[in-house]
Amino acid sequence: MFPSLVVPDLALAQSNNYCADFYGNHLSTLNQDSNFTAHGFNRVEKSWEEVFGVPLGFGASSIAIPGTHMPETQRQYLTIPFTMTGDQLGNDVTSARFSYVELQGQISRTHPITLTISPCPGDFRAPTQTNIGNAPADPYLGLNCRFEYSISGNGSASSIGLSGCPAPKGKRMYLNVAAYDMFGSDADQPSGPCDGPCGVSVLLQ
């Protein structure tokens, strides 16, 4: 059974290792899952503002990820940490919403893209939720936290219990991105070079 996502106090909530806090004794078992450890790929970490050019909570358009932030995509993944500062509507940051589209001429089925939102960097486990009304025991395996290749799509993280991947106030979360089908059997195969930035073009809302 996983702990509640209710965070009653910011001082108690603040943690740089929400991954360990949330999964607790389950973590040692999860670390044996190659999908949870990004298939052993190298980790490239960049800040939210470094990647998107604006602080968390602000809008931006036509940002390619991983793009030039990780020009060498073979057996690497990009992870972007972020932390919500509020748990109610107001001046604090309570959500991050994005939509993405294929970069015309830069990506194809031979260069899939996988995005996940998780307390853990490198967590590319496949979603277990089959429909919106059938939430998995682990909320981070829901379809609102896992996104695989498509021409376009939408994702979001929220600290106020609305639609979107749960991102509690004061807890460090990660947006993980890889130019592979990390949910499938092709993750151990090199994705090959790209003629230009690999990835998807992201619009922050």
What distance in Å separates the CA atoms of residue 35 and residue 33, rounded to the nearest whole number?
5
Q: Smallest Cα–Cα separation from 76: which of 39, 108, 111?
A: 39
- List pLDDT tens digits, range 175-196: 999 888 888 766 666 555 555 5
Which position has the token pair 């932390």?
Answer: 83
pTM as predicted: 0.83
More confident residue, 131 or 99: 99
Cis peptide before 66 (omega within 30 of 0): yes
CB atoms within 10 A of CB 14: 14
> Does 156 score more than 50 pLDDT?
yes
Of the listed ranges 43-52, 59-68, 128-137, 159-168, the least confidently predicted one is 128-137
> Does 198 score more than 80 pLDDT?
no
> Given this model, what pLDDT does residue 157 score?
86
Q: Where are the domains of the chain?
A: 10-204
> Given this model, what pLDDT does residue 111 score?
62
